[in-house]
Chains A and B, each alone.
Chain A
Amino acid sequence: DAGVIQSPRHEVTEMGQEVTLRCKPISGHNSLFWYRQTMMRGLELLIYFNNNVPIDDSGMPEDRFSAKMPNASFSTLKIQPSEPRDSAVYFCASSPGTGELFFGEGSRLTVL
């Protein structure tokens, strides 16, 4: 299995620009998670989907962040407009429902 695939691996953008991060979960997994990792705040859960439906988005920082999962094999996390404080590594993870998460390689975002 290819594992969880994220793109881009690195993104450098300027403040105010729109950023879209993409994730392809492992085939057959029914849950998908977006996490953000920073030195200051550690790992934070942003949003969680189950069977393509958002279940808990309480971790989404503000309205500038949005996430979609149009089908079982694709999800996006969008930031519009981006700000320097959004700089972080964003991880996508999927789960087959056992409680164990399988993480992607992460997308490192730098907002100048």
Chain B
Amino acid sequence: AQSVSQHNHHVILSEAASLELGCNYSYGGTVNLFWYVQYPGQHLQLLLKYFSGDPLVKGIKGFEAEFIKSKFSFNLRKPSVQWSDTAEYFCAQNDYKLSFGAGTTVTVRA
């Protein structure tokens, strides 16, 4: 069975700080990986996705993620966060269905 593990439950940081959220996925035949974001009171939206090719994936709003196969990791990064990045972030893996990690709440203080 697939399992996605997110390292941090809650991250608090100041504006302009760098952000890195850890994600480890379980081994599967096909590795399709995603990061979704859920802003307060809203639905989940896709930040970025990895299917194959360049392991460094660029997403929306300045986010990027790096796929490291040897570490089964797909960490999310942003060099400089803004207050509007306050949200919950979910890593997900898709074989035939999407399995989500527990989520990381990110609070950015102005």
Give A residues with C-beta under 8 Å from B: 33, 42-43, 45, 48, 55-56, 91, 93, 99-106
B46 touches A100 (CB 8 A): yes
> Number of residues in B with C-beta < 8 Å to the partner?
18
Identify the closest chain B residue to A43 (Cβ): B100
Given contacts A42-B103, A103-B44, 19 further A-B contacts (CB under 8 A): A33-B97, A33-B98, A42-B102, A43-B90, A43-B100, A45-B97, A45-B98, A48-B96, A48-B97, A55-B96, A91-B43, A99-B32, A99-B51, A99-B98, A100-B34, A101-B46, A102-B46, A103-B43, A106-B43
Contacting residues, chain A, for B18 (C-beta < 8 A)? none
Identify the closest chain A residue to B44 (Cβ): A103
Main secondary structure of the interface of B (DSSP, over half): strand
A101 touches B98 (CB 8 A): yes
Report the Cα distance A109→B34, complex, angstroms: 27
Closest 5 CB pairs of A and B: A99-B32, A99-B94, A43-B100, A103-B43, A103-B44
Report the Cα distance A33→B97, complex, angstroms: 9
B103 touches A91 (CB 8 A): no
Contacting residues, chain A, for B98 (C-beta < 8 A)? 33, 45, 93, 99, 101
Report the Cα distance A56→B97, complex, angstroms: 9
Identify the closest chain B residue to A102 (Cβ): B46
B43 touches A105 (CB 8 A): yes
B49 touches A100 (CB 8 A): yes
Report the Cα distance A104→B51, complex, angstroms: 23
